[in-house]
Amino acid sequence: MGWKPFKSYQEQQFVDAVSKPSLPMFRCEDSIIYSIITVNDNVPIGFISLKGIDWDSAKAELAIAICDNQYRSGGYGTEALTLGIDHAFNSLKLFSIYLSVFPSNTRAIRVYEKIGFKLVKRLEKSWTMPDGEKVDMLIMSIKKKAND
């Protein structure tokens, strides 16, 4: 399996990264984190989270990752994203879901667009990489359809 357990000092970093909002429009602290687990062999391969949940405005920021490389390009992310959005809209009664993505992550952008996400804006030089380089991020959103 390509996804290794965390060292003890990395656990809190991971929880913070998947539970605390990164987009400036989200100030709330509520978050929900789900594991992505294969159906056939019950292997944890990633996560999907709704963070910065603003219950009054019915919106949240979404983060998703298939952390184990051997399960990428297998449709797991698309399925988890589809199920997660359906859950957010129909069970949690949210209306808008936002996410951020690097412009270079074209595979993810294609999946997001296929599911119905639209580009909201480009935040230029808004993300600092580990080497200190500032890079752009795209903000995308999807809204619940009136007939859902």
- Token couple for 117: 């996400």
Half-sphere exposure of 63 (CA within 13 A, CB side): 22
Q: What is the pLDDT along the chain (148 residues), one digit of tens a residue?
A: 445 555 666 666 666 666 666 665 666 778 888 888 888 888 888 889 999 999 999 999 999 988 888 888 888 899 999 999 999 999 999 999 999 999 999 999 999 999 999 999 998 998 887 788 898 999 999 999 877 6
Sheet of 96-101: strand order equals: 31-37, 44-54, 59-66, 96-101, 134-143, 118-128
* Structural domains in the chain plus CATH codes: 9-143 (3.40.630.30)
Residues annotated catalytic, as ranges: 112
